[in-house]
Amino acid sequence: MKLAEDRVFRQSALLIKDAVSKEAYEQVKTELATLNADIELVKANIAQTELRAPFDGIIGLREVSVGSYTSPSTFIARLTKISPLKIEFHVIERYASSIYKGMKLTFQVDEKLSVFNATVYATDSRVTEDTRTLAVRALYPNSDGLLFPGRHVSVNLKLNEIPNAIAIPTEAIVPELGVDKVYLYKSGKAQPVEVTTGLRTDAQVQIVKGIQVGDTIITSGTLQLRTGLNVVLDQID
């Protein structure tokens, strides 16, 4: 390029002095223009070999070697976006109507004791027929890059909060002829009372009616209890 530009400069100076023909001057100008066009074409071809991602992330292992021939379908490497992270989970259809955009949730990763906060940003438009569940997606900022995509997490959702609720261990419930009962400890004896239950978890059940705050319930050996049986408490929680 530098030689071509110098040639045009010299021919221009000679043309002013009528020491060279105009055709010779036009010839070197054409050569310079052609060279410029060739250079721009090379730059364009080089640009086509650059891979530019539409987002920031972490590049994975390279799957091709330097000098290998590639095509648009060649898998070169995986670029993974790690901030924010999407969390996808499913809730049973019974609670589908309670999930909404902007809902807060917490989750944990198996080997980490920390609790992370995320926000629901989308739900599926229908319940899956075979599993009877609703797909839900949430976002976690992951601004520190601490978590990697593809991990399994345990999601905790607070669907409802009942203030001043009474909850007892599930093993304290004694079903009898279609009626739920619990045994109270009163004056050293077992006293059965009928209760109305509400929400249940794996370990606890809500008591809507039947007992009051401050009552002492018996949680073990309930199948051997009967009305008025003398009871000795080994442990009081």
For residue 51, which phi and psi values (nearest 5 degrees)? -100, 120
Q: Is the pLDDT of residue 141 over 90?
A: yes
Check if the beta carbon of residue 227 is closer than 8 Å to that of residue 233. Answer: no
Q: Is the pLDDT of residue 46 over 90?
A: no
Q: Is the pLDDT of residue 39 over 80?
A: yes
pLDDT tens track for 47-82: 676 777 888 889 999 999 988 888 889 998 999 999
Q: Is the pLDDT of residue 225 over 90?
A: no
Mean pLDDT within 95-117 = 90
Q: What rounded mean pLDDT belongs to the chain? A: 89
Cα distance between residue 114 and residue 30, in whole Å: 70
pLDDT of residue 196: 93
What kind and span of H or E run contains 3?
helix 2-16
pTM: 0.54
Share of the chain above pLDDT 90, in %: 45
Cα distance between residue 85 and residue 193, in whole Å: 50
User: 83-92, 145-154, 168-177, 225-234: which has the highest mean pLDDT?
Assistant: 83-92
CA neighbor of 80 nearest in space, from 58, 51, 54: 58
Mean pLDDT within 26-32 = 90
pLDDT of residue 116: 94
Beta bridge partners of 91: 134
Is 15 or 172 the better-scoring residue by pLDDT?
Answer: 172
Mean pLDDT within 140-153 = 92
Q: Is the pLDDT of residue 112 over 80?
A: no
Q: Residue 150: what residue type?
A: G
pLDDT of residue 194: 93
Say whether 174 sits in a helix, a strand or coil.
strand
